[in-house]
Structure 1
Amino acid sequence: MQPSYTHRAASLRMQGYYTAFFAVYGIAIPLWPRWLEGEVTLQYVGFVLGVSYWLKLVIVPITAWIADAIGDRRQVMIALAVMLFVLLAMMPFFEGWIAFAVLWGLGGAMLSTGIPLSDGLTMRLGQLLGVDFGKVRSWGSFSFMASALAVGALADQFGDQVIYWAMVVTSVLLIIAAIAAPKVHTEPLNDKTPLFEPLKLPNFPLFLVTVSLLLSTHAALYGFSAIYWKSLGYSNLTITLLWMAGVVAEIAMFSISSRIIDRFGAMPMIIVAAVGGVVRWMLLSYATELPLIVIGQALHAFTFALLYMSLIAYMSKRVPPAISASAQGLYDSLSMGVFFGVLTMAAGALYEMDPAYSFLLMAGCSFVGGGLAVLLLAKVRRYERRELDLSES
Structure 2
Amino acid sequence: MPHLLSPIADSGSLRLALLYAVVFVEIGIAMPFMPVWLNALGLDAVVIGLLVALPIATRIVATAPLLSLIDRGVGARTLLLAGSLVLALTYAAMPVGAALGWPLLALVIVLNAVAGAPLVPSIDYLTLAAVRRDPRLDYARIRMSGSIAFLAANLGGGFLLGAMGESLAVPLLLTGLAVIASLVVHASRGIEGAATVAATASGRVRLPRKLWFAIVAAAAIQSSHAAIYAFGSIHWTTHGIATAWVGTLWAIGVGAEIVLFALIGNTPARWRTPFRLLSLGAVAALVRAVGMWLLGDQLLPVMALQCLHGATFGATQLGAMAAVSAFAPDGARGRAQGSLSAVNALASASATLMSGAAYRLGGPLAFALMAPLALAGLGLVVAAAREAEPRPFGTGAAETL
- Could you tell me the TM-score, scaled by structure 1's length? 0.90
The answer as to 2:271 corresponding to 1:269 is no
**What RMSD over aligned residues (CA atoms) do the two structures have, in Å?**
1.8
Shift of residue 291 of structure 1? 1.2
Answer yes or no: is the 8 Å Cα contact 1:269–1:307 preserved in 2: yes
- Give the one of 120, 124, 130 matched to 1:119: 124
Superposed displacement of residue 108, structure 1: 2.9
| Superposed displacement of residue 330, structure 1 | 0.4
Residues in 2 aligned to 1:381 and 1:8: alpha-carbon distance in whole angstroms: 30
Determine if the alignment matches structure 1 residue 143 to structure 2 residue 143.
no
Corresponding position of 1:47: 50
Matched residue, 2:170: 163
Are 2:199 and 1:189 equivalent residues in the alignment? yes
Map Cα deviations across residues 204-238 of structure 1 (whole Å, 9 max, x no partner). Answer: 22222211111111111211111111212233331
Show the 5 A alignment for 1:2-151: 6-39=8-41, 40-95=43-98, 96-130=101-135, 131-151=137-157
Contact 1:210 1:372 in 2 (8 A): yes
Cα 1:210–1:106 change in 2 (3 A) is same
Distance (Å, rounded) in 1 between the aligned partners of 2:102 and 2:234 = 24
Structure 2 residue runs of 5 or longer lacking an equivalent are: 1-6, 391-401
Contact kept? 1:126, 1:132, Cα under 8 Å: yes
Task: Kindly state the Cα deviation for residue 198 of structure 1 after the two structures are TM-superposed.
Answer: 4.3
How big is the shift at 1:192?
A: 4.8
Map Cα deviations across residues 32-78 of structure 1 (whole Å, 9 max, x no partner): 11011123333211101111111112221121011221152001110
**Is the aligned partner of 1:369 residue 2:371?**
no
Kindly indicate which of the two structures has a greater share of residues assigned to helix: 1
Aligned to 2:348: 340
Q: Report if the CA contact (8 A) 1:53-1:109 is conserved.
A: no
- The corresponding residue for 1:318 is 327
Conserved 8 A contact 2:211-2:323: no
**Number of aligned residue pairs:** 374
Which residue of 219, 222, 226 maps to 1:219? Answer: 226
- Match of 2:118, SS state, is helix
Match of 1:258 in 2: 265
2 CA distance for matches of 1:88 and 1:186? 30
- Secondary structure of the 2:197 match is coil
* Cα distance change on mapping 1:37 and 1:261 into 2, 3 Å: farther
Structure 1's consecutive aligned runs of 4 or more residues displaced over 3 angstroms after TM superposition are 258-261
Q: Which moved more, 1:338-347 or 1:259-268?
A: 259-268
1:261 CA displacement: 6.9
SS in structure 1 of the partner of residue 288 of structure 2: helix
Q: Aligned partners of 1:12, 1:128: CA distance in 2, in Å?
A: 16
Summarize deviations over 1:58-117 as a string: whole Å, max 9, x none.
Answer: 221121011221152001110000111111111222232211211112213422431111
| Alpha carbons 2:160, 2:169 under 8 Å: kept | yes
* Structure 2 Cα separation of the partners of residues 187 and 151 of structure 1: 38
**Residue 29 of structure 1 aligns to a residue in which SS?**
helix
Task: State whether structure 2 residue 353 is matched by structure 1 residue 360.
Answer: no
What is the rounded CA distance, in whole Å, between the counterparts of 1:294 and 1:112 in structure 2? 32
Q: Please name the residue that 1:389 is paired with.
A: none
Aligned to 1:391: none
Separation in 1 of the partners of 2:268 and 2:125? 18
* 2:369 counterpart SS class: helix
**Aligned residue among 187, 208, 213 for 2:215:** 208
Contact 1:285/1:356 (8 A) holds in 2: yes
Per-residue CA deviations over 1:280-313 (Å, capped at 9, x if unaligned) read 1111122222111111111001111011111111
Displacement after TM superposition at 1:135 (Å)? 0.6
Taking a change above 3 Å as real, the CA distance of residues 165 and 192 of structure 1, as seen in their structure-2 partners, is farther
Q: Distance in 2 between matches of 1:62 and 1:381?
A: 29
Mapped partners of 1:193, 1:63: distance in 2: 18
Say if 2:62 and 2:117, in contact at 8 Å, map to a contact too: no
1:193 CA drift (Å) = 5.4
3-state secondary structure, aligned to 1:70: coil
